[in-house]
Chain A
Amino acid sequence: MTIEYKKRLAIVGESATIDDADLFWDWLMKNPKGRIDLSACTYLHTVILQLIMASTVKIKAWPADTELHSIMETAINNQGV
């Protein structure tokens, strides 16, 4: 399991693959006000990114990986631009 689900917090491990998508999607729908901790993440499958972009959850911690951090930040903040 590469994503750990707590009550209102999803902690994404080093990599989040397409196999995690279904569970993650479920969690996102059940926790519209949930938060995501991405700090350990270095690899994120497009599906997961797309789900995060479609969701309303908050990012509790951005990836420590600066490259992924900047990509995700632009992706989430520039949404719709």
Chain B
Amino acid sequence: MSFQSLIADLQKFWAAQGCVILQPYDMEMGAGTFHPATALRALGPQPWRAAYVQPSRRPTDGRYGDNPNRLQHFYQMQVILKPAPGDSQQLYLASLAALGIDARAHDIRFVEDDWESPTLGAWGLGWEVWLDGMEISQFTYFQQVGGFDCDPVSTELTYGLERLAMYVQGVDNVFDLDFNGAGGAARITYGDVFHRAEREYSAYNFEFADTALLTRHFADAEDECRALLARRLALPAYDQCLKASHLFNLLDARGALSVTERAAYILRVRELAKGCCEAWLSGERPTS
């Protein structure tokens, strides 16, 4: 099963569960959770089901394309089910079955892993899901975002797509993943698509990102976010919060922050996120 058909199958499965299939959000973010379809929609009373692929950027995880398992840019498949259905675990297992992973032939475990995002001010209880010893998903019952209670509670599923594909394809090096499923000259691997990007972005993230510029951009994004919040424009304000969050990640990867500075930056992003969540909630209709 190629990387792209794995994604297609998951989308098809979740579409059949009544999910809106969204496209990736057009901004840099560290995880699919940050997509407003999850971070903001998890708040408020409105039911919501969505699934989407989100490129995730983790500048500190870059390894110049030298490491078979680590990437500074990778894909997550994100599913949010609100309110959390009573058969969430069964649904998740059924999604694996749709990929040809039969629970009866494998060892699938739900191992305690409580999720927390200090920058989003969010937390939930749940597990990492292990497939024959490999962590392939994060499974969380969202309890709070931006410091606000999630009511109702949502189920949030995050599939690590590269990991899952490596498992399904039996590949040890992420760059060897079959991307398009074509044979011969038409065959495209994950490395064909992304290896150069990993090299170049690692150099940028670790060596050449201009920290003075990033620091200024962070302040700009922060100011803009606050200005937009004053106008109760939750979504554009949240974009600026995402920007600030990514700029912070870059500064962190450059080693430009001391421990105390780092904590202060996290707090600044969290304040923005909190403001955005508040603005979002104030614009939500109550359930009829």
Q: Do A and B bind each other?
A: no
Give B contacts to A, CB under 8 Å. none
Give A contacts to B, CB under 8 Å. none
